[in-house]
Structure 1
Amino acid sequence: MDEHQNGGSFNTEEADNIVKECIDSVVGNNDYNQNLVNKWTSAIVERCLTQLVKLGKQSKFIVTCALMQKTGAGLHTANSCYWDTAMDGSSTVRWESRTMYCVVSVFAIATA
């Protein structure tokens, strides 16, 4: 399943927009700072969960966040799910600034 397809009531585009807004509001134009990474990643996942729950979908959500300084090193991520593609869905957002990369994945599992 393509990462931008959506199943059932999960709207990938809507989730992508929420995640991008959350990353922008937490990290903004800040430069990478090792002392703030834990705070930023926690704030991003908590804010994403709060906004996703506000959508009122009958889903359980899992949100992961990886934040990495831009150093020229490679960053590879992958995920796989075994679920009901008609009702469940996922979204992965890759965001970058001048000094860092951020990858956030959202998994939505229908509860109804």
Structure 2
Amino acid sequence: MAAPQDDDEEDLVFNVEEVQKIIRDTIELILGGNVYSHSRTPQWIGLITDKTMARIAKLNKPFKYIYRITITQKNGSGLHTAAAYFWDTVTDGTCTVRWENKYMYCIVNVWALALQI
């Protein structure tokens, strides 16, 4: 009888590795070998957001998700960000994926906030 409880507990855990793989696969599919284009960036961000949200929703986990996607041209300029959280460190989670090709960087942050059930 212990196995069903373990499955239930696993359903309540934000699986960082699983979400990172989804994000990496989605970025690679959409950006792949593209050259940076300022005019195409909004479209890319929309596609990455929609596809990532759809795939993560299919995991059917009890979380609300927040996404932030940044795409910048690879030109030697710096980018610094910071975040602070006040949340339940047992149930809530976050992951960040930094992807790059020869022309651009893409940084995707996902925050998962457990639903109270």
Please give the TM-score of this superposition, normalised by the length of structure 2. 0.86
| Mapped pair 1:38 → 2:42 | yes
> In the alignment, residue 84 of structure 2 is paired with which amino acid?
S
Aligned equivalents of 1:101, 1:84: Cα separation in 2: 31
Task: Name the SS for the 1:18 alignment partner.
Answer: helix
Task: Name the SS for the 2:39 alignment partner.
Answer: helix
Post-superposition shift, 1:38?
Answer: 0.4
> In the alignment, residue 92 of structure 2 is paired with which amino acid?
D
Task: Name the SS for the 2:51 alignment partner.
Answer: helix
Consecutive unaligned residues in structure 1, runs of 5 or more: 1-7
> In the alignment, residue 43 of structure 2 is paired with which amino acid?
K
Question: Counterpart in 1 of 2:107?
Answer: 103
Question: Counterpart in 1 of 2:65?
Answer: 61
RMSD: 1.0
Consecutive unaligned residues in structure 2, runs of 5 or more: 1-11
Aligned equivalents of 1:103, 1:87: Cα separation in 2: 24
Identity %: 39
Task: Name the SS for the 1:72 alignment partner.
Answer: coil
| Mapped pair 1:89 → 2:107 | no
Aligned equivalents of 1:42, 1:78: Cα separation in 2: 23
Aligned equivalents of 2:83, 2:32: Cα separation in 1: 27
Please give the TM-score of this superposition, normalised by the length of structure 1. 0.90
* Structure number, greater radius of gyration: 2
Count of aligned pairs between the two proteins = 105
8 Å contact 1:88–1:110 — kept in the other structure? yes
Runs of 4+ off more than 2 Å: none
